[in-house]
């Protein structure tokens, strides 16, 4: 049963919500609660007269009080808990507070603090949020979806909790990631919060710490595998298609042995994408396109080493290859400039242990003939750096300190300004820090990291450290795909979003070493990415056939800004 509907007055053109609940039920609904900002006429009509103190507040005044409360908290986890409680009371107020303090609060509601929160989710959870689907309720999924009270669900972020950031299997505690990503869709992509839903596919956990923790709230069995897992996902996707036919489904933090299969299986059946593969790849590509401009070169002229070759490593490599081919290289030439390193060292084509997603970027033995190796039985990361002399080193390994001083010095020895992307989250898992790169290269470097780092002083002045966070890509891709009416999300849409993002980095910012826009510009970045996606969908024949100006008007109109909307009670439905 819906709790409200979006309406427009046919005479005045006024936007309002037609609401079907009153009194305490209205105050308990975070999408509808205005707290003491309910005007007096609505208090009377909606049966709130004795439930609120006499004074009438404003959204800005409420936000000021919340900020006072927030800044009294003693540490980041307490700040996270406070913001989640605020979101569960009043979503409009929550987003007003976030948007007035974006640079301060994005690291709290998402990386790096969200990782700490997920590690302790069952111990800090005050009120469940979103939808949990598990083996004991999967057969009731159609009814569960019918009971969603939101008026028009257009976005779903779902995780199975098996590979949360760099922290591994967190079971249903991984729901914190889905909640965080939905928050970013609203804060950065500007989708209306009543159109978004976080979900968790809780198929168990293999994490003994959680299974032995009395406070753990997830499905307390080992994970479903094989056909049982596949059948579970199939039921989930079919139910989403039936209940929410116009919704975008974002796969989030699935382990690589499922992520690639799910993307391939469903990308043409439902409007969907995998942020860890496609979003990470597109964000890193935007940073590298900008880095090439800073160095006054082209992508095709650089060489790349990828440390870690799961979802993120493959996604980044695919995007690099695409641009090099656009610049004139053949597929073989482009692949030949990318050197992928994983647990077994450099990926080689004759290795029987190669995973399916690794084979396309494995090198032949002849490619490495004559290399000088520390150990002839293994080609490790240091060997690759010494023999390849790369321009770019990308880390998606969740191994703190993997990029040692020796490796960074070797990068700088053969490259006038090495490009370092240390992308692992949270901060405790980063391959190297800006300070470490600064010391090893004598300040001659460009750098992006997954979590935020402050600008750093170099011999040539203060240099920005770009936050290469998917936040710069996925909200815009999602918004653009929804606005375009496309039936699927294509790789070309992500490439278009990358190029639009890179175009936003001004010449002044590039001179200061910034490879991506800054967080304060995130809403405009999302708008530009969304427009690029919608245009690409149109030009490829799968999106709405509108001109550029019409598409931009739709995107700007869809970008929600926190504000309180007038309510009118539907007295005829009997639902309240």
Cα(513)–Cα(127) distance, integer angstroms: 43
Prediction pTM value: 0.93
Q: Indicate if 297 and 150 belong to the same structural domain.
A: no
* Cβ count near 550 (within 10 Å): 12
**Where a domain ends, among 471, 501, 520?**
471
- Please tell me which residue in 70, 95, 110, 132 is annotated as part of the active site: 110
Burial status of residue 319 (CB atoms within 10 A of its CB: 0-12, 13-18, 19 or more): buried
Average pLDDT over residues 188-209: 96
Q: Sorting pLDDT into bands at 50, 70 and 90, what band is 420?
A: very high
Check residue 111 and give its pLDDT: 84
Check residue 65 and give its pLDDT: 98
Check residue 575 and give its pLDDT: 52
- 434 in any annotated domain: yes
Residue 79 predicted with pLDDT over 60: yes
For residue 185, indicate whether it is catalytic: no
Please report, rounded to a whole number, the percentage of residues in the chain having pLDDT higher than 70: 99
- 123 in any annotated domain: yes
Contact between 501 and 524 (Cβ < 8 Å): no
List pLDDT tens digits, range 296-348.
999 999 999 999 999 999 999 999 999 999 999 999 999 999 999 999 999 99
Q: How many domains would you assign to the chain? A: 2
Residue 422 predicted with pLDDT over 60: yes
- Please tell me which residue in 20, 34, 70, 181 is annotated as part of the active site: 181
Peptide bond preceding 112 in cis form (omega within 30 of 0) = yes
For residue 34, indicate whether it is catalytic: no
Half-sphere exposure of 470 (CA within 13 A, CB side): 31
Q: Sorting pLDDT into bands at 50, 70 and 90, what band is 519?
A: confident
Sheet strands (E) in 361-518: 392-395, 419-422, 446-449, 456-458, 461-463, 466-467
Q: Indicate if 387 and 303 belong to the same structural domain.
A: yes
Q: Sorting pLDDT into bands at 50, 70 and 90, what band is 190?
A: confident
- 81 in any annotated domain: yes
Residue 422's CATH number: 3.40.50.720
Check residue 573 and give its pLDDT: 58
Check residue 451 and give its pLDDT: 85
Sheet strands (E) in 4-123: 4-8, 15-19
Q: Indicate if 113 and 259 belong to the same structural domain.
A: yes
Length of the chain: 576
| C-alpha distance from residue 576 to each of 97, 195, 564, 569 (Å) | 30, 21, 21, 9
**Where a domain ends, among 211, 239, 270?**
270
Check residue 166 and give its pLDDT: 83
Its domain, for residue 409, covers: 278-471
> Which of 414, 444, 417 is closest to 291 using CA atoms?
417
Six token digits for residue 346: 């450099």
List pLDDT tens digits, range 353-374.
999 999 999 999 999 999 999 9
Residue 263's CATH number: 3.40.50.10380
């Amino acid at each position: 049963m819906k709790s409200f509907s979006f309406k427009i007055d046919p005479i005045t053109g006024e936007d309002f919500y037609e609401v079907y609940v009153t009194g305490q039920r209205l105050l308990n609904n975070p999408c509808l609660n205005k707290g003491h900002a309910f005007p007096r006429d609505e208090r009377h009509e909606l049966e709130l007269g004795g439930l609120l103190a006499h004074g009438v507040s404003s959204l800005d005044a409420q936000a000021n009080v919340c900020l006072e409360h927030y800044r009294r908290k003693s540490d980041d986890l307490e700040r996270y808990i406070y913001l989640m409680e605020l979101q569960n009371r009043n979503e409009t107020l929550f987003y007003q507070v976030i948007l007035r303090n974006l640079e301060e609060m994005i690291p709290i509601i998402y990386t790096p603090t969200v990782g700490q929160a997920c590690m302790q989710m069952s111990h800090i959870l005050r009120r469940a949020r979103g939808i949990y689907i598990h083996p004991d309720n999967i057969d009731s999924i159609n009814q569960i979806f019918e009971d969603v009270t939101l008026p028009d669900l257009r976005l779903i972020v779902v995780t199975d909790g098996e590979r949360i950031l760099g922290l591994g299997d967190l079971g249903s505690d991984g729901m914190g990631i889905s909640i965080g990503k939905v928050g970013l869709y609203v804060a950065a992509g500007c989708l209306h919060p009543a159109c978004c839903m976080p979900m968790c596919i809780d198929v168990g956990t293999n994490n003994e710490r959680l299974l032995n923790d009395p406070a753990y709230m997830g499905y307390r069995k080992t994970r479903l595998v094989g056909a049982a897992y596949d059948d579970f996902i199939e039921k989930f996707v079919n139910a989403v298609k039936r209940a929410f036919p116009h919704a975008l489904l974002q796969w989030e933090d699935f382990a690589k042995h499922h992520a690639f299969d799910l993307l391939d299986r469903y990308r043409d059946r439902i409007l969907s994408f995998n942020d860890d593969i496609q979003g990470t790849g597109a964000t890193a590509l935007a940073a590298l396109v900008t880095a090439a401009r800073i160095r006054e070169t082209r992508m095709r002229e650089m060489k790349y080493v990828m440390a870690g070759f799961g979802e993120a490593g493959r996604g980044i490599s695919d995007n690099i290859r695409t641009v090099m081919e656009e610049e004139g290289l053949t597929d073989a030439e482009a692949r030949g400039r990318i050197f992928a390193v994983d647990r077994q060292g450099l990926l080689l084509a004759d290795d029987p242990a190669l995973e399916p997603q690794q084979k396309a970027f494995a090198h032949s033995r002849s490619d490495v003939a004559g290399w000088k190796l520390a150990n002839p039985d293994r080609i490790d990361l240091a060997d690759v750096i010494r023999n390849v002399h790369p321009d770019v080193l990308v880390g998606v390994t969740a191994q703190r300190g993997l990029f040692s001083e020796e490796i960074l010095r070797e990068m700088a020895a053969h490259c006038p300004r090495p490009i370092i992307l240390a992308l692992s989250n949270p901060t405790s898992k980063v391959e190297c820090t800006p300070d470490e790169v600064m010391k090893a290269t004598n300040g001659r470097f460009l750098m992006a990291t997954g979590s935020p780092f402050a600008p750093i002083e170099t011999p040539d002045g203060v240099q920005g450290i770009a936050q290469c966070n998917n936040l710069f890509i996925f909200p815009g891709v999602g918004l653009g795909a929804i606005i375009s009416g496309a039936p699927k999300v294509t790789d070309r849409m992500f490439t278009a979003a990358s190029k639009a993002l890179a175009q936003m980095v001004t010449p002044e910012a590039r001179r200061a070493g910034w490879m991506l826009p800054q967080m304060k510009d995130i809403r405009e970045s999302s708008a530009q990415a969304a427009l690029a996606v919608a245009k690409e969908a149109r030009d490829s024949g799968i999106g709405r056939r509108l001109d550029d100006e019409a598409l931009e008007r739709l995107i700007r109109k869809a970008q929600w800004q926190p504000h309180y909307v007038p309510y009118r009670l539907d007295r005829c439905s009997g639902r309240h």
